[in-house]
Structure 1
Amino acid sequence: MSYFFVTLVVLALVVVFSTVKVVPQQNAYVVERLGKFFAVLQPGVNFIIPFVDRVAYKHSLKETALDIPEQICITRDNVQVRVDGVIFIQIIDPQKASYGISDYRFAVSQLSQTTMRSEMGKIELDKTFEERTTINQAVVASIDEAAIGWGVKVLRYEIKNITPPQTVLNAMEKQMQAEREKRAVILESEGQKQSAINVAEGQKQKVVLESEGVRLRQINEAAGQAEAIKSVADATAESIQKIALAIQTEGGASAVQLRVAEQAVAQFGNLAKATNTLILPANFGDLSSIVASAMTVVRKVE
């Protein structure tokens, strides 16, 4: 009796566990009834009929990354390069993912490789590195169109590595080195050119400033000389005016006669010191007549 009871309990537990299905979040279970698709169980607690319904497929609805193996591609200019990548997919229809294709992961991987070879054959080697975004978009568009029937959505594709042959890498390295040397020579020549321009500009400014200084000096000297000449002329005019006023005073004429006589004698004395030959006027003995002649000149100036 106890054995029968235990058997019933075990059978009841099996039936309960077969009836209740708990689906985790971001998962989907595909249920078949008597071998035919019946329903897709959503996350949470679900009930099925034991021995009639069964969970045929379990799918994760999370985004999945598939590694695309490295492959050899030939570019437009007939260069072999090794390319690998990674593709991100997500199941959006569990029913199609179960019955639309036997292995959607394998199908997506193979289609990614064939599409990549096709896209790489459209561009030259020099453009492969800068055209990564365009290639990625082309692969996503091509695979996504085919994957709709598999219940799979292709989210994005990324190229991980593009590896040219070693000979091509050596040639590219030499080209880059030559380009760097070329830029260095250009920059050096530009620096020398700018330096020469700066030196010439400095010399030009120096000459201009020096000539400006000379001009200002000459102007200042001329102004100084003019001022000196004017001062001498003013002083001479003032002294003559004072002499004229002094002559007009009482005893002025006699003083002038005496001064003229002194000057005449002094000048003849200096002339005798300067040379051995001395020429005297005929009336030098008559000093009064000489003074009278000088006074005649003074009166005419008045």
Structure 2
Amino acid sequence: MEVIVFLFYCIVFFIFIIILLLVLGAFFTVKQQTIVIVERLGKFQSIRQPGFNFKIPIIDSIAGKVTLKIQQLDVTIETKTKDDVFVKIKVSVQYQVMQSAVYDAFYKLQNPHEQITSYVFDVVRAEVPKLRLDDVFERKDDIAIAVKGELQEAMQSYGYTIIKTLVTDIDPDEQVKQAMNRINSAEREKIAAEYEAEAERIKIVAKAKAEAESKQLQGKGIADQRREIAKGLEESVKVLNGVNINSQEASSLIVVTQHYDTLSSIGSNNRSNLILLPNSPSAASDMLTNMLTSFSASQYVGEKLKEK
């Protein structure tokens, strides 16, 4: 009797456990930004939204979950440009399941990553070979737009929308990068040399202008000096004429005086290397005699010419 009672309690407990598991299995929760696919006996039954949900135990089952969050897939493609340079291009694709097409996203496409990768490879390898390496860097946005357009058209039928495509990296072959660096370095050196040459030219022009202005001022100073000397000589001649000394004698006297003033000036400067010839004691007398003779001869010739 006791054994029968024990078995009875065991069966009741077992049934209770089964019922409890069935009850617990009938309820489930769905997280935010997630969709759950429920199948009944292997056939699509319903799409369950976020929150608390119920399903028939054993008959209904959760076939899978679909996230509505924006996802990102990074694809690296190696291809060749129009000028035969191999480059690795990294394309980032941001995509999302359309809430209105969850059924298509879950049942029509087995692996969205592989599908998107295939389309990215196809578009990039069709667009990049049309461009030179420099154009690839400049038109990377055009490449991204072309990828997005192709993906959007293809993936929309599977329940996916393409949010954004970005060309995040363009990596040429190492030798090509070194060559580009050398070209950039040479270009910068060329520009630096042009600036240095322009600066040197400005210095030369400025120096030439300064020298020209200096010569101009020097010439003006000499002209003013000579003008003042001429005025002084004129005044000296007038003074000598006032004491009954004619112009010829006055001129000779002035020349002799300047001669001795020059000698005196040279003698006062002990660092001067200038030698004035002639420089004998009789030089002044000979110079005066020659000047008087010259003046007399010129006066005589002038009178003869007047007589004719």
Which TM-score applies when normalising by structure 1?
Answer: 0.63
Q: Which amino acid aligns with 1:126?
A: D
Q: In the alignment, which residue of structure 1 is the partner of 2:198?
A: 190
Quick check: 2:77–2:124 contact (8 Å CA) kept in 1?
no
Do the aligned partners of residues 151 and 201 (structure 1) sit closer, same or farther apart at CA in structure 2, a change above 3 Å counting?
farther
Which of residues 46, 63, 75 is equivalent to 2:81? Answer: 75
- 1:29 Cα offset (Å): 0.6
Q: In the alignment, which residue of structure 2 is the partner of 1:149?
A: 157
Do the aligned partners of residues 191 and 48 (structure 1) sit closer, same or farther apart at CA in structure 2, a change above 3 Å counting?
same
Aligned CA-pair RMSD: 3.0
Measure the CA separation in 2 of the matches of 1:214 and 1:28: 104
Q: In the alignment, which residue of structure 1 is the partner of 2:38?
A: 31
Q: Which amino acid aligns with 1:195?
A: K
- 1:146 Cα offset (Å): 0.9
Q: In the alignment, which residue of structure 1 is the partner of 2:247?
A: none
Q: In the alignment, which residue of structure 1 is the partner of 2:251?
A: none
Which of residues 44, 68, 71 is equivalent to 1:64? Answer: 71
Correspondences of 1:30-179 after superposition (within 5 Å): 30-68=37-75, 70-93=76-99, 94-179=102-187
1:123-150: CA deviation from partner (whole Å, max 9, x where unpaired): 1112112222221222122112111112
- 1:198 Cα offset (Å): 3.6
Correspondences of 1:189-268 after superposition (within 5 Å): 189-202=197-210
Quick check: 2:104–2:158 contact (8 Å CA) kept in 1?
yes
Do the aligned partners of residues 210 and 18 (structure 1) sit closer, same or farther apart at CA in structure 2, a change above 3 Å counting?
farther
Measure the CA separation in 1 of the matches of 2:19 and 2:202: 96
Do the aligned partners of residues 55 and 213 (structure 1) sit closer, same or farther apart at CA in structure 2, a change above 3 Å counting?
farther
- 1:193 Cα offset (Å): 2.6
Q: Which amino acid aligns with 1:105?
A: H
Measure the CA separation in 1 of the matches of 2:22 and 2:215: 111
Q: Which amino acid aligns with 1:18?
A: G
Q: For residue 76 of structure 1, give the secondary structure of its aligned residue in structure 2.
A: coil
Measure the CA separation in 2 of the matches of 1:213 and 1:42: 103
Do the aligned partners of residues 201 and 49 (structure 1) sit closer, same or farther apart at CA in structure 2, a change above 3 Å counting?
farther
Q: Which amino acid aligns with 2:107?
A: Y
Do the aligned partners of residues 212 and 149 (structure 1) sit closer, same or farther apart at CA in structure 2, a change above 3 Å counting?
farther
Flag the structure with larger Rg: 1
Do the aligned partners of residues 43 and 208 (structure 1) sit closer, same or farther apart at CA in structure 2, a change above 3 Å counting?
farther
Number of positions where the alignment pairs a residue of Structure 1 with one of Structure 2: 222
Measure the CA separation in 2 of the matches of 1:18 and 1:37: 19
Q: Which amino acid aligns with 1:72?
A: E
Do the aligned partners of residues 210 and 64 (structure 1) sit closer, same or farther apart at CA in structure 2, a change above 3 Å counting?
farther
Which TM-score applies when normalising by structure 2?
Answer: 0.62
* Structure 2: runs of 5+ lacking an equivalent: 1-7, 233-308
Measure the CA separation in 2 of the matches of 1:97 and 1:212: 97
Measure the CA separation in 2 of the matches of 1:135 and 1:214: 77
- 1:114 Cα offset (Å): 1.8
Measure the CA separation in 2 of the matches of 1:214 and 1:53: 119
* Structure 1: runs of 5+ lacking an equivalent: 226-302
Q: Which amino acid aligns with 1:138?
A: A
